[in-house]
Each structure stands twice: as C-alpha cells, then as structure tokens.
Structure 1
Amino acid sequence: MLRKVVKSAGWGLTLLAFYYVFQVFCRNADALARHAWGAWDAAAVLAAALVVGGAYFVLAVSWARMAPRHEERRLFWTVVAAYSITSIFKYLPGNCFHYVGRNVMGSQGEGEQVGLASATLFEVVLSGLCSVFVASLCALLPGANAGPAWRYALLLAAVLLGMAVLLRLSGMKARPGRGRLVSLALRLAEVPPGIAAPLGLTLLAYGLMAGAAVGVWNAFSAVPVAWPQIASAYVFSWLVGYVVPGAPGGLGVREAYLVLTLSPYATEPAAVLFALVMRVVVTLADLVLLAAGKVIQGRFPRRAAPLLQEARVRCGTGQEGGGV
C-alpha cells in the first residue's frame, strides 16, 4: 500500500512539474526565440557535456569500486562498462531500469548479484550524502542567497555525521540473521570495505557537475548571479530529480526546481533557458558515457557465465571442445 502511495505521489509530482515547465516555456517562448545562438554556445554545451559525462564516469568507477572482487582488473572494467552502458535506461518511465540493467550486465561479468545490489544501494546513499554536501557547502558561501545559513549548516553537519558512520562501519560483517530474507537484508546493508575511495570519487563527481552548471550559466546568461547560488541550485535540483520516483532521468522535476529557485534572483527567461540547456547537456553526457562504456566493453569483453561455458563445451562449440 505504501509503495503504491509513494509511486502515485511521484508520478503526480512529475506531471505537475511537466505542466509547470510547459507553462513557463510558453510564457517565455518569444524571449527564448530571440536568443542568438552561435558557435560559442555550441562549444559551451559540448564542453559542459564532456565535463558532466566525466562526472558520470567517475560515478561508474565509484560503483565498480564497491562491487564484489573489484580488485580483478578485467572484472572491474567490465562492471564500469555495465554501469556506463545502462545509465541511459534511466530515461525509461519508472527511473529504475538503469539499476536493474547494471546488475544484470555486471553479473554476466562474473559479479555477484547480492554484492552488486549492495553496491547500488550504497551508491544511492553516497549520491544523497555527497550531493547534499556540495549543495549545502555552496549555499553557505558568500553570494549564494539560499536562505537562512543555519539550515544548510545543520544539513552539512548531518551529512558529515552520516559519512563518518559509513567510514566507521566500512568492511564490518553483519551477524547472520534468522531466516533467508533477514540474512539477505543484512548482507545488502553491509558497508563495502574501502568506502572512503568511492566517497571521495562521488564528491568529485558532484563538484564537476556544479562546475559545469556554473559554466553554462556564464555562457548563456547576461544576468549576474553569484556562482555559489548557481552551483547550489543545480546540485539540489539534481537531488530532487534523483529521489522523485517515476521521473525518468529527473525530467521535468529538475527543470521546475531550477526555474522556481533562480527566477527570483534572475529573470524567468534566463532561468528557463538555463534549465533547458542543462537538460541538453546531461542528455549529451549520458551519450558520452554510453560511448565510453561501449569502448571499454570492446576492450574488456564479458566472459560467459560458468554454466553457459559448460553448455558450450558439451555441445562442442567452446574452445575446450574443438569448436565448429
């Protein structure tokens, strides 16, 4: 029952965000049409897409560092490729198929399903902590205009406490529970060993995203807004799109948040243009990540699962059986 309520609320919020974005787009269509697009604009979009694509790749490496047996070089890059290729699936309705896809592809690379699921769980945890950390830190800087500083100071303190707990529990094994489901839940909740490296990588990724957003604003808007405000608003919008269930790739939700947050300090056309350009940037970044994943997959091809290898040998189609 609770799952249905949360899902319905997520879809309702997504549709409301789409309606709001459509309204402000129509209201500012003339102002957007007057924007003089040039070669520098295209260069700025491509540069930002490469930076955000690099941030996504850092997240892929972070996830792979938490995967089972990541110290094996071939398996590590196989898992990175699985993350990179399936990340585009987040644009499917439901905003969950990229999680499923990376686990399926990763398991074909001899990864362990439970371990990969645990890595995904802690990737979500790290993304939440690190995005709030970067956004709150930027909101506390001079010129952010983000409201009372004490709220962001409390958020920052809570995030630091959460990070400290993760580092303290890293690598600790849970006691076996009673029953299969309890044991599975405890195993999923085990903090991966060496989580300090994924934590640092995730912080780097959100720092790169914030920097790309600031660069896009400076390239496309003549309205002077302090960079901490742009960085904080964008990272918070990313978090909102990340947690709202049903929003494919945060589509609509992030744009609505950016327009609502930045319009009081800039002009509404400038905020709408920034939101639309950043959507183009992150979409291109997903394609950059997909291309990187395909290159890595070609360099480190997945091995067939042990059962499939055995079946091929028995049928005489494997290397050990004198193939056809």
Structure 2
Amino acid sequence: MSSLLAIAGVLFVARKIADHWTEIDASGLGPTTWACLGFAGVAYGAANALLARAWWHLLKQLDTHVQWPTALRIYGISQINKYIPGNIFHLAGRHTLGMAAGWPARPLATSALWELMLLAALGALFGTLAIPLLWSHLPPLAAIALWAALLTLMYAALRTGGVPGIAQAMWLQTCFLAISGTVFLSVLLVTHEADTRAGLLLPAACGAYVLAWLAGLVTPGAPAGVGVREAVLLFLLKGLFAPSDLLVAVVLGRIVTASGDVFFYLSALTLQTEAEQHA
C-alpha cells in the first residue's frame, strides 16, 4: 500500500508538471541562482551531521559510548540508503555497520526507534507553523508562538525526565528540520519573487515543508519520501504561490536535497573509523 502511495505521489507531481509545463521557465535561472542552489545543497548536506550527532547522543543515553568520527562515518554512509525503495534500508545499514564495529545490537535498535519517534513528533510540531495555510483565522505570529511553546515543553519534559541525551538529540534534530525548511525557502526565494502575503507566511511554508517531509518519512514504500513529499507540498502551498513557481521550486528543491545527501555521503567516506585511526 505504501509503495502504491509513493507511485501515486510521483504520478501526481508528474501530472502537475505536465499541466503547467508551458508556464515553467527555467531560462531565467542565471549563474548566481545556480550558485545559490549549489550552496543550499552543501548546507543541507552539512546539516545531516546534526542528525548524526543526535544519533550519537541517543547511543550515549543508552550507555553505548562510541567515537564521534566513527558514528558520523557510519551514519553518513548508511543514510544514502534511504533512496532505496522501502525507506528502511538506511536504518538496516546503520545497524549492520554498527554491529560490524563491535557495538551491541539492542542499543542500536533502540536508538533507531527513538530517532524515528523524535523526528515524527518534531515533524508534527513543525506542522503547527503551517496551520495558517489551512485555517486563516490563526495569524502566522500566533502559529510561531504555539510552535515555540510546544517545542519548549517537549524539551523541558525530556530534560526533567532524566533523559538529557534524548533531549539533546531532540534539539539537534530540531535544528536540522529548521535548516531543511530554510533551504526549501531559499529555493523558493531565488527562483521567483515573493509577494507581500507570501512573505508574511514564509514560516508557514517552512512548516509545510517539514510536514511534507514527515509524510515522506512515515511512508515506508517511498524512497526518501520521493513523490509523497512533493504531492503534500503542492497541496499545502497551492494557494500561496503560483503553480508554475511552486513546481519549479519543488523540483529544484528535490535536486538540492539529493545533491546534499550525496555530498554528506562522500564526506563520510573520507572519515576514518576508530580502528583505522589506531592501525
């Protein structure tokens, strides 16, 4: 069923592109724009290190103390597997590489579970930023205040609950999601000129992106959320941006994030494991 949803999402985006193909004009994207998109890709790839650090804190909370460079390398090498259909192979690959490094299986499995639960909860919290897109009675500033309050409560609950490592992981994941949303916004802003209303709702657009990312995350059959993320974005932002502008941003945004994932993977390959450092 999840694979069918992923295929349906891809077909949905493809149909929208076909419907508005004549309106899409990428000829205006000059060298400066492409340079900005390249920088955004590098920034997104580097931000993945925040997820790796969060995983390292989760392992530490579970009494599995590992070298940070080794954890970063394992996370970076395995993370690219999220593009394999099934959307679980990055977790399986990380587990396998961790065990190969001599780490116990149970903390590895538990850390993956905690990571997914935290990301799902945070994705839902970011969704509060997008409420003004669906319910205009809530002002954007009120949505931001609600998001900040819920985020603070979640962090405080974890911190006072005796799990500081999980609280730290939550904070790092929050930073990653915020950067991811900002990267998408940068793609929107460099590819078209936003009007006044769009400018006021940019935080809502950021929340919409993270919510779309969450939809892709919880769809196991969608590799890296391909199709699902794009379909949700087009639905949530259809009234805020012109369809042609949004389609260009969605397509370029996927290229930027995929390029960033490749950059993170290649960077991880250059790191040495603990065993190699002592060889």
TM-score tier, shorter chain, comes to 0.7 to 0.9
State TM-score, norm by structure 1: 0.74
Match of 1:219 in 2: 190
Deviations 1:152-189 (Å, cap 9, x if unpaired)?
A: 68887776665554444445xxxxxxxxxxxxxxxxxx
Separation in structure 1 between the aligned mates of residue 275 and residue 114 of structure 2, nearest angstrom: 24
Residue number among 22, 25, 32 corresponding to 1:30 in the alignment: 22
Which of structures 1 and 2 has the bigger CA Rg?
Answer: 1
1:62-77 matches, within 5 Å, as 62-68=54-60, 71-72=65-66, 75-77=67-69
Match of 2:249 in 1: 274
Match of 1:232 in 2: 207
1:32-111 matches, within 5 Å, as 32-33=24-25, 35-68=27-60, 71-72=65-66, 75-111=67-103
Question: SS at the partner of 1:115?
Answer: helix
Give the CA deviation at 1:238.
0.8
Structure 2 counterpart of 1:245, which letter?
Answer: P
Separation in structure 2 between the aligned mates of residue 37 and residue 155 of structure 1, nearest angstrom: 34
Give the CA deviation at 1:12.
2.4
Separation in structure 1 between the aligned mates of residue 154 and residue 226 of structure 2, nearest angstrom: 28
State TM-score, norm by structure 2: 0.86
Aligned pair 1:205/2:205, yes or no?
Answer: no
Distance 1:302 1:105, change over 3 A: farther
Separation in structure 1 between the aligned mates of residue 260 and residue 26 of structure 2, nearest angstrom: 26
Separation in structure 2 between the aligned mates of residue 118 and residue 169 of structure 1, nearest angstrom: 18
Separation in structure 2 between the aligned mates of residue 301 and residue 102 of structure 1, nearest angstrom: 16
Distance 1:301 1:42, change over 3 A: farther
Residue number among 149, 152, 156 corresponding to 2:138 in the alignment: 149
Give the CA deviation at 1:45.
1.3
Separation in structure 1 between the aligned mates of residue 101 and residue 157 of structure 2, nearest angstrom: 31
Residue number among 236, 240, 246 corresponding to 1:261 in the alignment: 236
Separation in structure 1 between the aligned mates of residue 230 and residue 256 of structure 2, nearest angstrom: 13
Larger RCO, structures 1/2 (Cα 8 Å, 6+ apart)? 2
Separation in structure 2 between the aligned mates of residue 223 and residue 229 of structure 1, nearest angstrom: 14
Give the CA deviation at 1:222.
2.1
Question: SS at the partner of 1:195?
Answer: helix
Match of 1:180 in 2: none
Contact 2:87 2:221 in 1 (8 A): yes
Contact 1:53 1:285 in 2 (8 A): yes
Deviations 1:257-298 (Å, cap 9, x if unpaired)?
A: 1111112222111111111011001101101110221122xx
Give the CA deviation at 1:42.
1.3
Give the CA deviation at 1:146.
4.1
Separation in structure 2 between the aligned mates of residue 105 and residue 212 of structure 1, nearest angstrom: 30
Identity over aligned pairs, percent: 24
Question: SS at the partner of 1:67?
Answer: helix
CA-based RMSD: 2.6
Aligned length, in residue pairs: 267
Separation in structure 2 between the aligned mates of residue 134 and residue 236 of structure 1, nearest angstrom: 7
Question: SS at the partner of 1:126?
Answer: helix
Distance 1:218 1:155, change over 3 A: closer
Moved over 6 A (4+): 150-159
Separation in structure 2 between the aligned mates of residue 86 and residue 288 of structure 1, nearest angstrom: 13
Separation in structure 1 between the aligned mates of residue 194 and residue 68 of structure 2, nearest angstrom: 45
Give the CA deviation at 1:57.
1.2
What residue ranges of structure 2 are gaps of 5+ in the alignment?
A: none
Contact 2:3 2:222 in 1 (8 A): yes
